[in-house]
Amino acid sequence: MPMLRRMAELRDSNVTATQSTANRPTGSRTTYRTCPLCEATCGLSITERPDGRFTVRGDDQDPFSRGYLCPKGVALGELHSDPDRLRTPLIRRGRTWTEVGWDEAFAEVERLLTPVLAEHGRDAVGAYVGNPVVHNLAASLYGPVLMRALGTGYRFSASTVDQMPKQVSSGLMFGTELSVAIPDVDRTDYLLVLGANPMASNGSLLSAPDLPGRLRKLRRRGGRLVVVDPRRTRTADIADEYLPIRPGTDAALLAAMAHTLFAEGLADPGHAGPHLSGLEELPGALRPFTPEAVAPVCRIPAETIRRLAHELAAAPTAAVYGRIGTTTAGFGTAASWLIDVINTLTGNLDRPGGVLWPKPATGSPNTAGEPGRGRGARIPGSRRTRVRGLSSVFGEFPAAAMAEEIDTPGPGGERLRGLFTIAGNPVLSTPNGERLAAALETLDVMVSLDAYLNETTRYAHVVLPAPSPLARSHYDLVFTSFTVRNVANYSPPSVPLGAHERSEAEVLLRLASIAAGGGASVEQMDALVAAETARRLVADPSSQVFGQDPDELLAAVSGRRFEDRMLDLMLRGGPYGGLSLDVLEKEEHGIDLGPMEPRLPEVLRTPSGKVELAAPQLLAEARRLAGWLEEQREAEGGLVLVGRRQLRSNNSWMHNVPLLSGGSNRCTLQIHPDDALRIGADDGSGVLVRSRVGEVRATAEITATVMPGVVSLPHGWGHGRPGTRAGVAAEHPGVNSNALTDEAPVDPLSGTAVLNGIPVEVLAEP
């Protein structure tokens, strides 16, 4: 068994995938581009060989990633060549798909969409934006243009099955949803990781190529790594200490640690002190959370909770970091807030080696406007979903409400009748995905912009293909807000668009034009968007182009269009002088703009100009948490389900790439030996897993890496359905873990789904 595990580790190992950029075959062409597949933003060298295939290596000269890449990056060439990846638009009539030209596809969109908007209004058509959009320059810039043209309040995205709680807590504390304080992993002396497994995920809301290597370096320089997770992950394996925690209880644990810091006189915010508001309200709010009250609920002993608090306070520098396990939870916003409360109380907010704010070259809401003060975050948002009355958050509704808004008509028959999906697979990625699947079947119009015909897009009436990831410009507009160093790296297309491919900028602008009532050409729409951006930048007192004539600014970038023009405008207007796309084009490996630096108080955009440690919305969450803690004392302990990520997997959509399929990349239900014994399940046997909303048949994997009482199933599986086109994925279909997750409970402030800690029953199959 250890031998097998070691072999699997070697095959999956990040390190063995790293190869040198030397020894290129002759007659081949090499370009450099940032990998768009995860948040690590590795620089890749892409060599197109004479036979038309691609060799992908780490770019040794990338100042940020220095040659690192993981198996997914290697697979980018196969992704490009995948015959199942969509190349032409498709129209569905009944269960029959027809390949059509672009004009015919857009005409079909118009034919289906226009009457729905005319008869039922703007809120009858919604849109769901999936994760790859944030890795896609064109889609992240022009997706919002389509949203505005649709004029709908029914905007959904993967954010509410992911990081929204951190955006809410950061917005309330620091003033903008992108002001997430990032752990300074390269300089810290102590890193406490809760609910994240960067050895598999390569990091999230923490962009750092080769995060596994950076964690090893942290330990090598004498630092300490502590991991809190219901599963002994590979990150736990390389840590100094691993603490199993009962799923869903991180907020209580963190509250008890913060309580300890006050109770024992260890709270000392250091240089952040003068910039804080609400510090004196915290001890009262935290009073119910004694380590003794919390310990039996999270199953971490009281003395360990105290020791963690002591260690964080005593370390020269320290950072607390939480991810999916802390955000896709019933108290996701509270946990996200308490993480930064502890970072503040231990003197680590805005300190090198603690948590800091990057400064992206294209600007951010926290580099715009008046430094140190702003509007702050409006939480909750002003709109409510029709069926459940859930609040909007930063202009969008919870993805967990999508199905019911389609399948539950109001008294006047009002419901969502149309849906756009852009780079999303919510049937596999949102709670109770099978209810959503049934609802999608009833839509009057569904349009998907996607790379595959998959479990979601198979319901669309029109599917528009996304171009190959190698055939577009790339710049990390979003992740430069989360990078552990400030970097700027532009990638031009590595290959031209295929004969039938269209850029996503063009496709989204065309859809926006249709949604707005036709008329405007793509060029007119694009010019409009660019002019609006130019006007915004010259009016911003913090921008490098403040006070310039917008027409002059536009003239300077007039040789470009679409996302390249927008990026050029934003670089010129961003917080660094002298940057433009011309400059980045000459630096094909990217530019290092230095480490994160302290930014208090200039980074703040709260109305008070202070860090709001005790925003009323957050104090209310602390009260709700205290009430819940009371109830937990009597709670019974059945089995609960958590998720997990696998190194050679990427949410739902890369299971069709042969390089990544098979091996350890299996959709199994991990179960502790004690639980397996009780249930009567053997390793490799079939089990039936049942929750309030659904059931799946899975294969049991008996392993002591999950704590007793917890079972784990990865998400993004459940392939091989009729009407999908992904032959390789269909060979190892797995099951949809989101057939089990429940759309009912959400973290109230952020609308984020609870995807971990789902009560389930597991039965051995006869």
Per CB under 6 A, residues contacting ligand MGD are 38, 130-132, 136, 139, 158, 161-162, 194-198, 200-202, 204, 228-231, 233, 245, 247-248, 250, 323-326, 328-329, 422-426, 429, 449-452, 454, 466, 469, 642-647, 649-653, 715-716, 737-738, 741, 755-757
| Binding window for ligand SF4 (CB under 6 A); candidates: 31-39, 367-375, 469-477, 678-686 | 31-39
Helix (H, G, I), strand (E, B) or coil at 119: helix
Residue 35 binding partner per list ligand MGD, Mo ion, ligand SF4, none, with a CB distance cut-off of 5 to 8 Å that depends on partner kind: ligand SF4
| Binding window for ligand SF4 (CB under 6 A); candidates: 68-76, 562-570, 574-582, 748-756 | 68-76
| Binding window for Mo ion (CB under 5 A); candidates: 162-170, 381-389, 555-563, 732-740 | 162-170
**CA 51 from centre of chain:** 36
For 322-356, b/e burial (b = at least 16 CB within 10 A) is: bbbbbbbbbbbbbbbbbbbbbbbbbbbbbbebbbb
Q: Residue 35 interacts with ligand SF4 (CB under 6 A)?
A: yes
- Residues in contact with 706: Cβ distance below 8 Å, sequence separation at least 6, in sequence order: 230, 231, 232, 642, 670, 671, 672, 712
Residue 42 binding partner per list Mo ion, ligand SF4, ligand MGD, none, with a CB distance cut-off of 5 to 8 Å that depends on partner kind: ligand SF4
Q: Residue 236 interacts with ligand SF4 (CB under 6 A)?
A: no
- Residues in contact with 612: Cβ distance below 8 Å, sequence separation at least 6, in sequence order: 172, 173, 174, 277, 278, 376, 606
Q: Quick one: 553 or 755, whose CB is closer to ligand MGD?
A: 755
Q: Quick one: 317 or 738, whose CB is closer to Mo ion?
A: 738
| Binding window for ligand SF4 (CB under 6 A); candidates: 34-42, 271-279, 629-637, 741-749 | 34-42
Site for ligand SF4 in 688-747 (CB under 6 A): none
Helix (H, G, I), strand (E, B) or coil at 152: coil
C-alpha–C-alpha distance, residues 515 and 124, integer Å: 13
C-alpha–C-alpha distance, residues 50 and 235, integer Å: 40
Helix (H, G, I), strand (E, B) or coil at 515: helix
H or E element at residue 237: helix 234-237
Q: Quick one: 58 or 751, whose CB is closer to Mo ion?
A: 751
Tell the residue number behind the tokens 């006007």, with chain if given.
535
Q: Residue 162 interacts with Mo ion (CB under 5 A)?
A: yes
| Both tokens assigned to 127 | 């849109």
Q: Measured from the CB of residue 206, what is the shortest distance to ligand MGD in angstroms?
A: 9
Integer CA distances (angstroms), 9 to 16, 609, 647, in order:
10, 48, 10
User: Of 40, 129, 193, 660, which lies in the binding site for ligand SF4, with binding defined by CB under 6 A?
Assistant: 40
C-alpha–C-alpha distance, residues 17 and 40, integer Å: 15
Q: What is the 3-state secondary structure (H, E, C) of 263-326?
A: HCCCCCCHHHHHHEECHHHHHHHHCCCCHHHHHHHHCCCHHHHHHHHHHHHHCCCCEEEECHHH
- Residues in contact with 552: Cβ distance below 8 Å, sequence separation at least 6, in sequence order: none
Q: Quick one: 45 or 513, whose CB is closer to ligand SF4?
A: 45
Q: Residue 73 interacts with ligand SF4 (CB under 6 A)?
A: yes
C-alpha–C-alpha distance, residues 397 and 390, integer Å: 7
Q: Residue 62 interacts with Mo ion (CB under 5 A)?
A: no
- DSSP 8-state secondary structure symbol assigned to residue 244: -
Residue 33 binding partner per list Mo ion, ligand SF4, ligand MGD, none, with a CB distance cut-off of 5 to 8 Å that depends on partner kind: none
- DSSP 8-state secondary structure symbol assigned to residue 432: T
User: Of 47, 57, 64, 70, which lies in the binding site for ligand SF4, with binding defined by CB under 6 A?
Assistant: 70
Integer CA distances (angstroms), 222 to 189, 343, 351, 548, in order:
7, 20, 19, 51
Residue 454 binding partner per list ligand MGD, ligand SF4, Mo ion, none, with a CB distance cut-off of 5 to 8 Å that depends on partner kind: ligand MGD
User: Of 72, 187, 458, 719, which lies in the binding site for ligand SF4, with binding defined by CB under 6 A?
Assistant: 72
Q: Measured from the CB of residue 131, what is the shortest distance to Mo ion in angstroms?
A: 5
| Binding window for ligand SF4 (CB under 6 A); candidates: 30-38, 240-248, 378-386, 689-697 | 30-38
C-alpha–C-alpha distance, residues 714 and 734, integer Å: 9
Residue 526 binding partner per list ligand MGD, ligand SF4, Mo ion, none, with a CB distance cut-off of 5 to 8 Å that depends on partner kind: none
Site string for Mo ion, 108-147 (x = CB under 5 A): ----------------------------------------
Q: Are 540 and 546 in contact (CB under 8 A)?
A: yes
Q: Which of 415, 427, 397 is nearest to 155 (CA)?
A: 397
Residue 256 binding partner per list Mo ion, ligand SF4, ligand MGD, none, with a CB distance cut-off of 5 to 8 Å that depends on partner kind: none
Q: Measured from the CB of residue 45, what is the shortest distance to ligand MGD in angstroms?
A: 21
Tell me how many residues contact ligand SF4 (CB under 6 A). 12
Q: Which of 588, 591, 551, 589 is nearest to 571 (CA)?
A: 591
Q: Quick one: 417 or 715, whose CB is closer to ligand MGD?
A: 715
Q: Quick one: 78 or 162, whose CB is closer to Mo ion?
A: 162
Q: Measured from the CB of residue 292, what is the shortest distance to ligand SF4 in angstroms?
A: 42
Residue 451 binding partner per list ligand MGD, Mo ion, ligand SF4, none, with a CB distance cut-off of 5 to 8 Å that depends on partner kind: ligand MGD
Q: Which of 552, 562, 597 is nearest to 353 (CA)?
A: 597
Residue 73 binding partner per list ligand SF4, ligand MGD, Mo ion, none, with a CB distance cut-off of 5 to 8 Å that depends on partner kind: ligand SF4
Q: Measured from the CB of residue 50, what is the shortest distance to ligand SF4 in angstroms?
A: 25
Q: Measured from the CB of residue 38, what is the shortest distance to ligand SF4 in angstroms?
A: 3
Residue 41 binding partner per list ligand MGD, Mo ion, ligand SF4, none, with a CB distance cut-off of 5 to 8 Å that depends on partner kind: ligand SF4
The angle subtended at Cα 152 by Cα 151 and Cα 156, nearest 5°, is 135
Before 144, cis peptide (omega within 30)? Answer: no
Q: Residue 505 interacts with ligand SF4 (CB under 6 A)?
A: no
C-alpha–C-alpha distance, residues 175 and 378, integer Å: 9
**CA 40 from centre of chain:** 12
Residue least distant from ligand SF4 (Cβ): 73
Per CB under 6 A, residues contacting ligand SF4 are: 35, 37-38, 40-42, 69-70, 72-73, 202, 209
Per CB under 5 A, residues contacting Mo ion are: 162
